[in-house]
Amino acid sequence: MSNLVKLVYVGNKPSAFDNVAHSGKCWNNKGDVQEVTDAQAKLLLKYPDQWNLADEADRARVETPVSIQSTGEDGQTVTIDPEDLNKPLEKMNKAELLALAKETWDKDLNVTMTKKAMIDQIEEWKHELGDR
């Protein structure tokens, strides 16, 4: 589960709505502090002219990678939130299944496999190797 990070709004507008990380948070004025998840903070901090950490002690945690790189169906690299690997296999897309196999058992699935074949292989690994 993600931890909450306090971000302070440093922009020049009277208020700011988070349309970057989609946290639903709104800062009412310059200096206002709102809490967001560490993953959301990482995205918002890419705009230092708008948001900064309210507590520098959170910097190391926010700078820790919070995503997993995987391959999408088109062969492009996609970013997966580790929380997405907790949903049922049937609700995962192929990129998430690839990431789950790599992260859980250090196994590579063939990207050309069907989604059903990927799920079958993962269920076999779960049975043979257990969840880690």
Residue 115's pLDDT is what?
A: 95
Residue 14's pLDDT is what?
A: 93
Dump pLDDT digits (tens) for 10-69: 999 999 999 888 788 999 999 999 999 877 888 899 899 999 999 998 988 787 766 777
Among candidate residues 41, 63, 85, the one where a domain is terminated = 63
The domain total for the chain is 2
- Give residue 40's region: left, alpha or beta (phi > 0; psi -120 to 50): alpha
Query: Does residue 29 sit in the same domain as residue 47?
Result: yes
H or E segment and range at residue 43: helix 38-44
End-to-end CA distance of the chain: 17
Strand-pair partners of 52: 8
Dump pLDDT digits (tens) for 89-116: 999 999 999 988 888 888 889 989 999 9
Domain membership of residue 73 as a residue range = 68-129
Among candidate residues 63, 80, 105, the one where a domain is terminated = 63
Do β-strands 26-27 and 33-37 pair in parallel, antiparallel, or remain unpaired?
unpaired
Instruction: Provide the residue type at 19 as one letter.
Output: N
Among candidate residues 27, 45, 63, the one where a domain is terminated = 63
Dump pLDDT digits (tens) for 54-63: 999 898 878 7
132 pLDDT higher than 60 = no
Q: Which residue has the higher pLDDT, 83 or 97?
A: 97
Residue 1's pLDDT is what?
A: 41
Q: Which residue has the higher pLDDT, 37 or 9?
A: 9
Query: Does residue 16 sit in the same domain as residue 55?
Result: yes
Strands (E), the chain: 4-9, 16-17, 26-27, 33-37, 51-53, 68-71, 77-80
Cα(114)–Cα(132) distance, integer angstroms: 24
2 pLDDT higher than 70 = no
Classify residue 82 by its DSSP letter. G
Structure tokens that stand for 85 in this block: 């690997």
Q: Which residue has the higher pLDDT, 75 or 1?
A: 75
Cα(89)–Cα(79) distance, integer angstroms: 18
